[in-house]
Amino acid sequence: MSQEIFDKVKDILKDIENTAVQSKDELEQFRIKFLGTKNVVKPLFSEIKNIANDRKKEFGQLINEVKQTAESKFNNLKISLAEGEEDAAGAEIDLTAPGAPMTLGARHPISVIMNRIIDIFERIGFTVAEDREIEDDWHNFTAMNTPDDHPARDMQDTFYLMNSTEMLLRTHTSSVQARVMKAKQPPIRIIAPGRVYRNETISARAHCQFHQVEGLYVDEGVSFADLKQTLDYFAKEMFSQDTKIRLRPSYFPFTEPSAEMDVSCFICEGKGCNVCKYTSWVEILGCGMVDPAVLENCGIDSKKYTGFAFGMGIERQAMLKYRVDDIRLFFENDVRFLKQFTSA
């Protein structure tokens, strides 16, 4: 009789060892069967009395073994079930699915236009010159034939550095022209792109900071015809081969004679629109022959050399080109605005 009980327990032990579960339900059934309050080992206790005394200890050990085996088996089953679930979840990931697209950055519209202008002038032998934005009064004004009390200083409202009458934020990149002329003798053929500052009330049409490209050509025998020819080439490359230019007399302290250049309206092509205000001309830049006084101020012999210069605002061109009606948009860095511009 007692051997029979031993065999029953050993069968239970084998049962435990051979159990495999596929689901949480089956795992729970295993727990109830072997570890629950009504587990299959329990009824055997009532039969202990039938076991010979010298084997009672052995029986107790066997029962303990069943309990420990059931516990560790339960834990192992639980772990492998969880791992199986993870694998199943993993199988749902489609490794061939295309990735979420990365949003591509775009150049700032001001850079697009600026690079385009630089490229056009580089093709005819101009090189880029860059210099500081915090300038001294001499390079920004005095060298440019605009001494202290010159009324033309009012044309450009200037930001001076705190407690300084000497240092300022450059109001135009003509200051770069002054630096280049001081540093080297003709032939000089440069364009000066960069940021400039003017103390203007910020509105849809004006900002206290904007960008310019200025150009300077100084050599023997440079004439107004060269200036006109160069600007005509620029306008055709920049807008279209059908573009016409018109030079109107103007005034700048650093050029004599001076002119403002209009281009035929590239939006309505002469039919009249609100961009050209129904004149069919759009103002693009200021220019002129470098005033001999400017050459002399910068150490260049004005009897031997002549030169022309021009300067244009980039924001204005970008506004015309892209039909943007508020200059402030260029400085807000709102990507919804910025990513609309990919080419000039």
Examine residue 192 and tell whether it contacts ligand PHE (CB under 6 A): no
**Interhelix angle 53-91/2-18, nearest 10 degrees:** 10
Stretch in the footprint of ligand PHE (CB under 6 A) among 121-129, 131-139, 183-191, 281-289: 281-289
Extract the tokens encoding 163: 């407690």
- Least separation, in Å, of the C-beta of 214 and ligand PHE? 5
**By C-beta, is 309 or 318 nearer to ligand PHE?**
309
Examine residue 234 and tell whether it contacts ligand PHE (CB under 6 A): no
- Least separation, in Å, of the C-beta of 168 and ligand PHE? 14
| Whole-number Å distance between alpha carbons of 188 and 176 | 12
- Among residues 109, 194, 288, 307, the one that binds ligand PHE under rule CB under 6 A: 288
Judge whether 259 and 247 are in contact, CB under 8 Å: yes
Judge whether 263 and 247 are in contact, CB under 8 Å: no
Residue 190 DSSP SS3: strand
- Least separation, in Å, of the C-beta of 152 and ligand PHE? 10
Stretch in the footprint of ligand PHE (CB under 6 A) among 92-100, 107-115, 295-303, 308-316: 308-316
Examine residue 311 and tell whether it contacts ligand PHE (CB under 6 A): yes
**By C-beta, is 26 or 260 nearer to ligand PHE?**
260
Cis peptide preceding 109, ω within 30 of 0: no
Which residues have C-beta within 8 Å of that of residue 66, sequence separation ≥ 6?
9, 12, 13, 16, 34, 41
- Among residues 121, 310, 330, 341, the one that binds ligand PHE under rule CB under 6 A: 310
Q: Cα dihedral sign for 137, 143, 145, 147? A: positive
Residue nearest to ligand PHE (CB): 311
Which DSSP letter does residue 197 get?
E
**Interhelix angle 314-322/109-122, nearest 10 degrees:** 110
Extract the tokens encoding 334: 């709102």
Stretch in the footprint of ligand PHE (CB under 6 A) among 86-94, 234-242, 285-293, 295-303: 285-293
Stretch in the footprint of ligand PHE (CB under 6 A) among 22-30, 106-114, 221-229, 280-288: 280-288
Site for ligand PHE in 47-76 (CB under 6 A): none
| Whole-number Å distance between alpha carbons of 30 and 110 | 73
**By C-beta, is 33 or 228 nearer to ligand PHE?**
228
Examine residue 286 and tell whether it contacts ligand PHE (CB under 6 A): yes
Examine residue 181 and tell whether it contacts ligand PHE (CB under 6 A): no
- Least separation, in Å, of the C-beta of 200 and ligand PHE? 13
The beta strands (E) that lie in 43-130 are given as 127-128
Which DSSP letter does residue 142 get?
I
Q: Helices (DSSP H) in 92-140: which residue ranges? A: 109-122, 137
Q: Which residue has the tokens 């061939």?
A: 96
**By C-beta, is 40 or 180 nearer to ligand PHE?**
180
- Among residues 140, 146, 230, 255, the one that binds ligand PHE under rule CB under 6 A: 255
Site for ligand PHE in 136-175 (CB under 6 A): 172, 174
Laid out side by side, the sheet with 209-219 consists of 127-128, 188-197, 209-219, 306-313, 281-290, 255-264, 245-252
Number of residues interacting with ligand PHE: please give it, by CB under 6 A: 11
Sequence letter at residue 101: P
Strand partners, 128: 191
Examine residue 287 and tell whether it contacts ligand PHE (CB under 6 A): yes
Examine residue 309 and tell whether it contacts ligand PHE (CB under 6 A): yes
Examine residue 214 and tell whether it contacts ligand PHE (CB under 6 A): yes
Examine residue 231 and tell whether it contacts ligand PHE (CB under 6 A): no
Which DSSP letter does residue 160 get?
B
Stretch in the footprint of ligand PHE (CB under 6 A) among 71-79, 178-186, 261-269, 304-312: 304-312
Q: Which residue has the tokens 């550095």?
A: 161
Query: Which chain residues interact with ligand PHE by CB under 6 A?
Result: 172, 174, 214, 252, 255, 286-288, 309-311
